[in-house]
Amino acid sequence: MQEIFAGVSWIGVIIGAIVALLVAWLWYSPKVFGAKWAEGSGVDLSDARSMPVSPLIIQFIGLFLMSWFVGVTAVNNALLTVILATAAFCVMYYANGMFGRRSAYARGVDVGYWIVSLAIMIVAQGIF
């Protein structure tokens, strides 16, 4: 159990998760990818004030856990492990979106976001 805590830059973990969440806000905004993504995902963006809080909280928890995973692999000089895990997750997520009949555009936007998030988290670990 100690290997998932020892030496991890918690500042890097927290900043990586927060920055990735802020990038999601921009990434999925109607001005960037949001409008076409929403259409391909069956999401209604007409009223941003009605954004459900539960998915945002769960998203942040997931980003925190991913950033922690990046921190653990950084400490152990195994960043290729987290890159491989992210690639596997992205492929499985893309396939799941195919089963769910989401558009190729929506799936690509989501996978692109995960790749950008991983890069943010790696940089955060490098800086902090």
Please, which pLDDT band fits residue 49 given cuts at 50, 70 and 90?
Answer: low
Of residues 43 and 69, more confidently modeled? 69
- Would you say 72 and 66 are in contact if contact means Cβ atoms under 8 Å apart? no
Tokens for 118?
């991983």
For 25-34, the pLDDT digits (tens) are 999 999 999 9
Cα-Cα-Cα-Cα dihedral sign, residues 93, 43, 37, 109: negative
The pTM of this model reads 0.92
Contacts of 93 (CB under 8 A, 6+ apart): 107, 110, 111, 114
Q: What are the sequence ranges of the domains in the chain?
A: 2-127
Residue 87's identity, in one-letter code, is: A
Residue 54's identity, in one-letter code, is: S
Spell out a b/e string for 40-53, using b for 16 or more CB atoms within 10 Å of the CB, else e. bbeeebeeeeeeee
For 32-45, the pLDDT digits (tens) are 999 999 999 998 87
